[in-house]
Structure 1
Amino acid sequence: MSTIFSKIIAGEIPADIVYQDELVTAFRDINPQAPTHILIVPNKEIATVNDLAAEDEQVAGRLLLVAKKLAAQEGIAEDGYRLMINCNQHGGQEVFHVHLHLLGGRPLGPMLMRR
């Protein structure tokens, strides 16, 4: 079954795409949690980080390098930014297509709330 991200990559669903190459696509989150909130996704459907295989090493690295590039382009690299990948239900994953969140543009506070 095709994910919503695959449909965005294929151009079937509109999105504000800020970067695309043969391995990854990046677009602005429709429900941003920070002034800059970009999702960077592999063009290949990979459900979770647990499903990454050795042949996905290049795409996994590309996710990070594209995040670095976009942080600089967005003007958030110097002050800092957060990169997040959620995995499965307890990790908060909602779309089962690996994706890296690039968040910044303001102080983001602690990673997790203490309980």
Structure 2
Amino acid sequence: YKPTEYADVYWYNIIAQVCMIISLWYLCNRVNWEKQTWAQPIISFGNYSYGIYIFHNWIQMYLISSTAQRLFPLERWAGEHTILFPFGFFLLSLIISYLLTWLLLKTKVGRFLIG
């Protein structure tokens, strides 16, 4: 949350305030997550969290390496979009590491290593 002048509203402030209200509501009310149908994909996403944790840093380092810059010139895009680039970079590394973990868990060795 970043305080601003009165009537100086930005989209990221609105998102931050809504997230703060929702998180306070969930802290005060106990929710049975197993009965929520919309929460099932989020709960199943937790099966891949350890693999995502392992791979995300390697993927991010590769995406900003000089070798990858020849294929994906991210420098210019990062300079022009200072707010959007970190979010997009996070989503790109999350999706790639999720897919890599999903593929690795399909093998016997991957299930042994990641669990």
TM over 0.5: no
Please give the range of the TM-score, normalised by the shorter of the 2 chains.
under 0.3
Structure of greater relative contact order (alpha carbons < 8 Å, 6+ residues apart) = 1
**More helix per residue: 1 or 2?**
2
Larger Rg over CA atoms: 2
**More strand per residue: 1 or 2?**
1
TM-score (norm 1): 0.24
